[in-house]
Structure 1
Amino acid sequence: MINDLTQSSASNIDEAMELVNFGTRMRSIASTSMNHRSSRAHTVFTFRFEQTGKDGETQMAQVQLVDLAGREQEKSSVDNKDRLRERQFINTSLFHLSTCIINLSRASKGRKVTPTDFAFRNSRLTLLLANSLSGNSRTGMVAALSPASSDLDETL
């Protein structure tokens, strides 16, 4: 279980949209020296669908929509203590996510990887995404990247 995680049920599209709107309003956004509307935390919406067939067997599916807060270099921004602390949490969780993805890629290519290389429990973000990254799943990504050459090091 993850602290401060909100789980709710919806039985129709209107209820689901109310929950999405609630989650969107709860997002942490603040102005930083790099971005006047900066996500100060990651946002994960997990939709679980259950369908029971005529034979009584239940099928389940899960879709996750994830908004990752952007990584910022310490030397490239000057912010207050709260922004610095948020940036540290953001950067740490992105580091753990990238480590998991790199090791999953290595394993899929037949390279030797130890179970500790898949340390999904190292961050709340990777714990939430563990099933989508490592299970019977398909993952797609849409990235919003800065076109500025000055942001290249932080983009790739």
Structure 2
Amino acid sequence: MFKKLRVVLDFSRLYILLFLFDLELSKKGFTKTFEKYSVRYFNNTPNDQISQNVVEDMESFFLLLNIVCAWYPKKADCIHKTLIGYRVMHKKFALPVEMVIGVRKFPFEAHAWLRINQQNLFPEEETNHYKIIISSHSYIKEQ
């Protein structure tokens, strides 16, 4: 019973985060929102080893985030998942995650994803055909 209640509360929290993020994105635009998240939720704490419990919690979090995005009435793409994931990875798990956005020329396509220590957070994600054009670390170096 408590586990179901916890899932409902986590779903509600993520849904509200998604709504607020979407609102901010539409009001302030992508550049200002990306810069704000890059600086505000930056965490440079070295973390070479991630415990199995943290990995399981992260997987549960991203599974729930995918469900929340599917239920969201507007289109919630990889950029929504990446920025919300970045925020939560830093605040909840204290991991040094990096947001990156890449593009591919032909056929034109863009994608956003998370990395830890220059490695994709989800290794099965195919991102090698994208050229990275924006990184959250680039905003930190400017500060």
Indicate the TM-score class for this superposition, using the shorter chain for normalisation: under 0.3
Return the structure number with greater relative CO, CA threshold 8 A, min gap 6: 2
Larger Rg: 1
Task: Give the TM-score of the pair, scaled to structure 2.
Answer: 0.26
